Amino acid sequence: MSTGAQLIMLWENIAMSVRSIAANKGRAVLTALGVMIGVGSVIALTALGTGAAVSVEARLGNLGANLMIVYSGQPRGTALVRTRTTNIAPALTIDDLAFIDSLPPDLVVMTSPESSINGQLKFENRNTAATVIGTDTDYPEIRNFRPVFGDFFTPADLEGRRNVVAIGVQVYRDLFPDGRDPLGTTIRMNGLPFTVVGIMEEKGNPGQDASVLIPLTTFRRSLSGSDRYAIINIQAASPDVMYQLQEIIETQLLAFRRLPSMELADFYIANQMDLIGTVRGVADTFTLLLGGIAAISLLVGGIGIMNIMLVSVTERTREIGVRMALGAKGRHVMTQFLTEAVILSAGGGLIGVGLGYAGAWGAWRFGGLAAVVSPESVLIAFGFALVTGLFFGGYPAYRASRLDPIEALRYE
């Protein structure tokens, strides 16, 4: 058959299918319902899974881009940012930091060491407790924690070991409940006078909001005396190099300490990718599970299509006989019924895509859930619906195509 004739046949099949579906609208809708629900739920549920992962990743990114932290002590849990590090002996040396700083820029962008103690802060007659962090001027960039009012301390402050402090927003609220401009004001920290140079942005976690930041040089001279760091913050060049970088640092720091393995180490490295990996893993499992449930409902939808197509073939046995008597070949009959099954499943699939988007929107609008509809899920779900139609329409269509014309004509 020529391509022209094939196109005509295809068009004819579509027209016949649409007419046959239109003749049984209610039944068609019920048949396609399974596919609609299947496709809709695949899209909406995976949107919720993806949305959850995206929102957690956004929160992690909020900690600082490509952040990697070397901690003193032994690992506890998986939290990237430990809220209390003040009670652990600082174990990281100047050599450790120098080594990390010596790594090429395609691995390490910048570093910032920090140490901290618990401090008691006082202004006029008000007292508050805060974590006092001594660090350097790269800290705001690495930790994505910046002043909103005034400034962070400067390299000159660091150089001159000045008594200047950038205070967390909670500390500001506790010490200056009247909301006054605190810049230039002197507060007392463990008895020592410090001049306020800035207020840090609100992060929503007490570890940061109830902290104050002072130059590391000042911290060492006045508050701790130790020349070790509790933490080294590292901004890696990209997420891809993080594991490689972690391995390089672990190997060298173990070598400095003459230790055989991380089990005995007095430091550990938390890597943003670990957390993102964990979150993605959970989200992927979730998505897979939801996808599986949705796929089962698609399967059920497919069986519904098969059932109705078998009924349709039986009902139209005489019609098949007439068509065959007038020259329809097996494959004509086959494609006619396949077209019908695919139109049913594609129609159901299209409505399902709409339902999926609506469901995701509803979850966001009324449930406050993060939902991100991924184009892949739409394509996969719709493609799956089409394949379902082809697969489950295949058997009834095959049965129809194998009918004997004279018996089909006699069928009552």
Partner 1 sequence: MIHLTDVHKHYQMGPTVVRALDGVSMSVDAGEFVAIVGPSGSGKSTMMNIIGCLDSPDAGSYLLAGEEAAERSADELAEIRNRNIGFVFQSFNLLPRASAVENVELPLIYRGISGRVRRRMAEAMLERVGLADRSRHLPAELSGGQRQRVAIARALVGNPSVLLADEPTGALDTHTGEEIMTLFEQLNAEGVTVVLVTHDPHLARRAARAITLLDGRVTTATALEVRP
Q: Which residues bind partner 1 (CB under 8 A)?
A: 1-2, 4-6, 8-9, 11-12, 19-20, 23, 318-319, 321-330, 332, 405-406, 409
| Smallest distance from partner 1 to CB 343, Å | 17
Judged by CB, which is closer to partner 1: 89, or 325? 325
Strand partners, 194: 187
* Residue the block writes with tokens 């899974």: 49
Judged by CB, which is closer to partner 1: 87, or 326? 326
Kindly report the three-state secondary structure assignment for every residue of 90-114.
CCECHHHHHHHHHCCCCCEEEEEEE
N-terminal to C-terminal alpha carbon distance within the chain = 33
The residues, ordered by sequence, that sit 6+ positions from 65 with a Cβ below 8 Å of its Cβ are 144, 235
The candidate with the shortest Cα–Cα distance to 345, out of 306, 315, 379, 314, is 306
Radius of gyration (C-alpha) of the chain in whole angstroms: 34
Judged by CB, which is closer to partner 1: 13, or 208? 13
Judged by CB, which is closer to partner 1: 129, or 406? 406
The candidate with the shortest Cα–Cα distance to 90, out of 119, 117, 63, is 117
| Smallest distance from partner 1 to CB 2, Å | 7
Judged by CB, which is closer to partner 1: 354, or 405? 405
| Smallest distance from partner 1 to CB 25, Å | 14
Judged by CB, which is closer to partner 1: 329, or 365? 329
The residues, ordered by sequence, that sit 6+ positions from 295 with a Cβ below 8 Å of its Cβ are 38, 42, 384
Which backbone phi and psi does 197 adopt, to 5 degrees?
-110, -15
| Smallest distance from partner 1 to CB 26, Å | 16
Angstrom distance (rounded) from CA 324 to CA 258: 87
